Structure 1
Amino acid sequence: MKSTSYLIPSVFAALLHMVVVVLLAESWFMTEPEHRQVPRHVQAQLVDFSERQAQQLEEVKAKAQQKAQQEKRALERQKEAQRQAELKRQQEDKRRADKKKAAEAAKQKAVAEKQRLAEKKKQEALALKKKAEAAAKQKAAVERKRKQAEAKKQADAEQKRLADEKRKQAEAEQRKREEQQRQAQELAVKQAEAARRAESQRQAAASYEGYIKELISRNWRRSPGTRNEIVIELSISLLPTGKVVDVQVTRSSGDSRIDEDAIRAVQRVDRFEKLQQLDPVVFDRYYRRFTLRFRPEDLRW
């Protein structure tokens, strides 16, 4: 709120207070006169109090006007000071705003410069990246060609190696087949030779079977009541000299007397001397331990 709005009420209040003070002063000083002797020669003068009150009121008004003018001038000085302060404040605000604006402009310029440098670095980095990628692609292409050449070389070497292995394998298989054929032929020859030798041995051994049965038949004493349909098998063990070592019944005739007769017949022979003429291999194979089957009708009485 402006200070001028309080000026007029303040002036009237001051005037009113001054009037009240003057009236109180007059009533205060207008006391009853003391009882004293009045000199004989008194000069009296008539005073007009209404004129005096008007004069005092004029003085009060003059003082009030002077004070109002002083207050007005003080108010004007205050307004001027406020105006100067406001102007100074506005100038300071403008200076600060200009400074802030300059700082903001400098900041924006710095940001723009920073962005420009960053963009420049980015472009340079992108250029270097593209250059590196191009170099890498070229290097990769060279490396790819080298690897392809190396792979082709290795493939050719591998193909040659496989061909050599295949050829060597075929040769090895051919040698193996030839060796197998040779071994088969040798085996066939050996088997044929062995078969011939075995047959010869069998025949040689078979030629002594009749001799053995003949000697046993001669020494067999047939018990009464022996039937022709019976069959008996004997297991006989011999030494290379033809001597009987052991004789056992492997298949009984069903009659213990006939079994005992067969065992005693072999024991009576005791030695098959002609077996000494056999080859030891043939003897070991056929007569070291052998089995003979007898029927009563085979025996000579």
Structure 2
Amino acid sequence: MNKGFYVLAIIISLLLHGALITAITYGWEASSMPERKPMPKFVQAKLVTIEAATPKKKLPKKVDKIQQRAQREAEQKRKAEVERKRRAALEQKKKQEAEKKRKAKVEADRKAKQEKAQREKERKEKERKEKELKEQLAKERESSFNEALEDEQELLDANDGQQAVMSVAQAIQQQIEAVWSRPPSARNGMLTKVKINFVPTGRVVATNIVEGSGNAALDRSVLTAIRRVEVFPEVAKLAQEEPVIFEREVRTTILNFKVEDLRQ
């Protein structure tokens, strides 16, 4: 009996100690917790009920088969029209490109023909000029050759004519000096230059003093000697055989008569 009482006393003592520890602990926690704001006295709350939106299945509409077929036909026609326009545009583009190429080819052919014609024209013109140049050179060579022959012939003729003229002039002077009688007042070195005009028969038709000697008697003696001879056969012969030389060189003849053989 004492043993049971002792156990009960221990249990009661433990309970009391536990209660005391709990009270102490609760008091400390209450003092250490922060001060809380007072809550409002009245709180209004509204309950909103959200119903889950569940999609409702749509019932298939009844479509008229004739309408569906009409729609299909209209769509087909639209697509066919679009395709037709596309093909038409493509065909038009092809035609335009073909026409452009054709025009370009025509223009290229025209230019090629024009260039060919121009080249042919230039070739012919070049050939013509070359031909004219050759002909001109040939004519010039021929002309030069002929002129050279003529010059040579003229030179020969001139030489022959000059010799003939000199021969005739010498004969005229010799015949005049043969009958020339110098006056006493003449002196060696005096010179009289006389111009004599002939006709083709060799007859003297005029005489003139071109340059006097300073001695009038001497100048008159020369003219007197010419009139004494009057006709010169050598002149007539030259006029008959070489009329051109006669006209050019002898018809008008100028001779010098110088006094050289007098004794002082």
Q: 1:139 to 1:287 in 2, by over 3 A?
A: same
**Whole-angstrom CA distance in 1 between matches of 2:134 and 2:112:** 32
**Whole-angstrom CA distance in 1 between matches of 2:149 and 2:207:** 39
Shift of 1:203: 0.8
Structure with greater helix percent: 1
2:140 corresponds to: 180
1:202 corresponds to: 162
Partner of 2:260, secondary structure, is: helix
**Whole-angstrom CA distance in 1 between matches of 2:107 and 2:259:** 96
Q: 1:189 aligns with which of 127, 141, 149?
A: 149
What TM-score do you get using the length of structure 1 for normalisation?
0.50
1:7 corresponds to: none
**Whole-angstrom CA distance in 1 between matches of 2:261 and 2:121:** 76
After superposing on structure 2, the runs of 4+ consecutive aligned residues of structure 1 that deviate more than 6 Å are 137-141
Q: 1:284 aligns with which of 233, 238, 247?
A: 247
Q: Unpaired runs of 5+ in structure 1? A: 1-130
8 Å CA contact retained: 2:193, 2:256: yes
Deviation track 1:185-233 (CA, whole Å, cap 9, x = no partner) reads 1111121112111211111121122211111112222111212222221
Matches within 5 A, 1:242-261: 242-261=202-221
**Whole-angstrom CA distance in 1 between matches of 2:101 and 2:218:** 106
Shift of 1:140: 7.3
**CA RMSD of the aligned region, Å?**
2.5
Q: Unpaired runs of 5+ in structure 2? A: 1-91
**Whole-angstrom CA distance in 2 between matches of 1:264 and 1:148:** 99
8 Å CA contact retained: 2:180, 2:221: yes
What TM-score do you get using the length of structure 2 for normalisation?
0.57
**Whole-angstrom CA distance in 2 between matches of 1:218 and 1:146:** 103
Work out the percentage of aligned pairs sharing the same amino acid.
25
1:295 corresponds to: 258
Q: 1:218 aligns with which of 178, 184, 198?
A: 178
**Whole-angstrom CA distance in 2 between matches of 1:138 and 1:256:** 115
The one-letter code sitting in structure 1 at the alignment partner of 2:249 is: Y
Q: 1:160 to 1:257 in 2, by over 3 A?
A: same
8 Å CA contact retained: 2:185, 2:217: no
Choose 1 or 2 for highest CA Rg. 1
The one-letter code sitting in structure 2 at the alignment partner of 1:289 is: T
Shift of 1:149: 2.5
